[in-house]
Chains A and B, each alone.
Chain A
Amino acid sequence: MNETAGGIDAPEETSGTVKKFMFVNRKAPYGTVYALEGLEVVLISAAFDQDVSMVFIDDGVYELVKGQNTKAIDVKNFSPIYRALEGYDIEKLYVDDESLKARGLTTERLLVPVEVLNSAQIGELMDQQDVVISF
Chain B
Amino acid sequence: MLHIVNKSPFERNALESCLRFCRNGSAILLIEDGVYAVTRGNAAEPKVRQAMSHMKVYALRPDLEARGMYEAMIDGVTLVDYGGFVDLVAEHKAVQSWL
Contacts and interface: CB of A to CB of B under 8 A. Distances in A.
B90 interface: no
B36 A62 contact: yes
Interface of A: 27-32, 58-59, 62, 65-73, 75, 77, 79, 102-105, 109
Contact of B65 (A28, A72, A79): A72
A58 B10 contact: yes
Interface residues of B, number: 26
Main secondary structure on A side of the interface with B: loop
Interface stretch (B17-25, B50-58, B67-75): B67-75
Nearest to A28: B33
B45 A104 contact: yes
5 contacts: A30-B63, A67-B71, A68-B68, A72-B66, A73-B66
Contacts of B68: 65-69, 79, 109
Contacts of A105: 41
Interface in B29-45: 32-33, 36, 39-43, 45
A73 B64 CA distance: 10
Contacts of B45: 104
B42 A102 contact: yes
Nearest to B81: A72
A27 B36 CA distance: 12
Contacts of B63: 30, 73
Given A58-B11, A59-B8, 17 more contacts: A28-B33, A29-B66, A30-B33, A30-B66, A31-B8, A59-B11, A65-B68, A68-B66, A70-B66, A71-B65, A72-B61, A72-B66, A73-B62, A79-B68, A102-B10, A104-B45, A104-B72
